[in-house]
Structure 1
Amino acid sequence: MEDQILIVEDEIKLAHLMSDFLTSHHYATHIINHGNEVLPWLEHNRPSLILLDIMLPGQSGIELCKAIRKFSNVPIIMVSAKVEEIDRLLGLELGADDYICKPFSYAELVARVKAILRRLTSITDISSSTMKLDESTYSVQYKATSIELTNFEFQLFKPLFNNPNRIFSRDSLMDTMYADQRIVSHRTIDSHIKKLRKKLDEVTQTDSVIQSVYGVGYRFVHPQ
């Protein structure tokens, strides 16, 4: 079964060019040109990934990303002509998995899509005595409780979980998330760690299973 990519882009010509290129790489696509049509469509459809432009008529991409994250962990790549770091950070803080800036090459677009979908097809269970990661649902199972994570949060937590007590620098975590070595602010990692830590601490009722090491980075400590 082909992966379906939802393209949310109000520039109709660009949307169709994106669709044509993705289709040539054996992806199914669906195009939506107006922000207000996205949520109703998602009520009846489950795409494998969403390419979401920030500037849209009706609901903006930022508003949509925030709304989608309330009910779905579908991977989201933000698309924008704005290249300022604050826009990238804002998109990622709202739960986006990646961003791509206009103008972009279609080869780069496909590479980003493939990279995220490749993570989804590598389904593994990684467990400890009291905590388990389930990559098929992007969740953490702690005793009898399930903690839902976004795709980005899950991929960020996985290396920490696999290497308890090992200190990871922000740069090494960024390299894990961005294999193409793009420049990403340390604030992006800190922002996701903050939200991830809050989710885990609320359930484990510990001070923190993800500990900050001053001036170095972060490490994971198994909860009791």
Structure 2
Amino acid sequence: MSAQRILIVEDEPSIADNIVFALKTEGFAPHWCRTGAEALSACQTDPPALVLLDVGLPDISGFDLCRQLRQHSAVPIIFLTARDSEIDKVVGLEIGGDDYVVKPFSPRELTARVRARLRNFTPAANPVALRLALDEQRHSARLDEVELNLTRYEFRLLAVLHGAPGRVYSRDQLLEMIWTDPSAAFDRTVDTHIKTLRQKLKAAGERVNPIRTHRGLGYSYDPQGL
């Protein structure tokens, strides 16, 4: 049986080295990332069994990274931080964290917490591809047997993304392709429609999130979800 992969998101090399050593000693397969961007890429390429997440990262708050991960993953997340205030702990747990370890910490205690979280975690069944049907002439969309009741722009947005799975479209590209008068719209117009589109897909019974956000780039469609 292969070792469980643990993702360490920590910008301090000395701390990361200690964690890597402790995890390897306990039979895990640690993978270290210095930034949130590296962590997101690592999660998409090879999803870990658990994430050890520092709150104070150089490019993004660990809390914000947790929110992004929780959009598509139930992987256990243990926060690592020097912040020991009650409010920080409450925020970390309320946004989807599973545990909170304050620095400095014992590597043995940390690996014990990792084992405990993995022992209590039951991964969800593998999601199936969405059975989405689009009718271009009627501007209608159905997820399985459920009508999505999309607005004109929501339908156009879904049709463009769905028509080229995996392709990343910038907000400007989507404005030009979809909106009647792109100059009268704003970048946030796209974000707002993406949000309501996701909500309608979820309400119709989708178990995965097929619309992927690419930070700083735009959006793409993944029929297998995230």
TM band (smaller chain) = 0.5 to 0.7
Q: Which amino acid aligns with 1:24?
A: T
SS of 2:68 mapped into structure 1: helix
| Aligned residue number for residue 20 of structure 1 | 21
Tell me by how many angstroms 1:49 deviates.
Answer: 0.2
RMSD, aligned CA: 1.9
Aligned residue-pair number: 127
| Aligned residue number for residue 59 of structure 1 | 60
Q: Cα–Cα, structure 1 residues 55 and 136, in superposed 2: closer, same or farther, change >3 Å?
A: closer
| Aligned residue number for residue 194 of structure 1 | none
TM-score in terms of structure 2 length: 0.54
Tell me by how many angstroms 1:136 deviates.
Answer: 4.1
| Aligned residue number for residue 124 of structure 2 | 137
Once residues 51 and 36 of structure 1 are traced to their aligned partners in structure 2, the CA distance between those partners, rounded to angstroms, is 15
Once residues 79 and 42 of structure 1 are traced to their aligned partners in structure 2, the CA distance between those partners, rounded to angstroms, is 18
| Aligned residue number for residue 104 of structure 1 | 105
Tell me by how many angstroms 1:59 deviates.
Answer: 1.3
| Aligned residue number for residue 48 of structure 1 | 49
Q: Which amino acid aligns with 2:43?
A: L
Identity %: 43
Alignment map for 1:1-224 (pairs within 5 Å): 1-120=2-121, 135-137=122-124
Once residues 34 and 95 of structure 1 are traced to their aligned partners in structure 2, the CA distance between those partners, rounded to angstroms, is 19
**Bigger Rg, which one:** 2
Once residues 29 and 113 of structure 2 are traced to their aligned partners in structure 1, the CA distance between those partners, rounded to angstroms, is 16
Tell me by how many angstroms 1:98 deviates.
Answer: 0.6
Once residues 115 and 41 of structure 1 are traced to their aligned partners in structure 2, the CA distance between those partners, rounded to angstroms, is 23
Instruction: Tell me if structure 1 keeps the 8 A contact 2:74–2:123.
Output: no
Once residues 58 and 36 of structure 1 are traced to their aligned partners in structure 2, the CA distance between those partners, rounded to angstroms, is 8
Unaligned runs of 5+ in 2: 126-202, 205-226
Unaligned runs of 5+ in 1: 121-134, 139-201, 204-224
SS of 1:39 mapped into structure 2: helix
SS of 1:103 mapped into structure 2: coil
Q: Which amino acid aligns with 2:61?
A: S
Q: Deviations for 1:45-103, whole angstroms, at most 9, x for unmatched residues? A: 11000000000000110110000000000000011100000000111011001110001
Tell me by how many angstroms 1:36 deviates.
Answer: 2.1
Once residues 102 and 59 of structure 1 are traced to their aligned partners in structure 2, the CA distance between those partners, rounded to angstroms, is 19
Instruction: Tell me if structure 1 keeps the 8 A contact 2:8–2:32.
Output: yes
Once residues 71 and 86 of structure 1 are traced to their aligned partners in structure 2, the CA distance between those partners, rounded to angstroms, is 25
- Which of structure 1's runs of 4+ aligned residues deviate more than 4 A? none
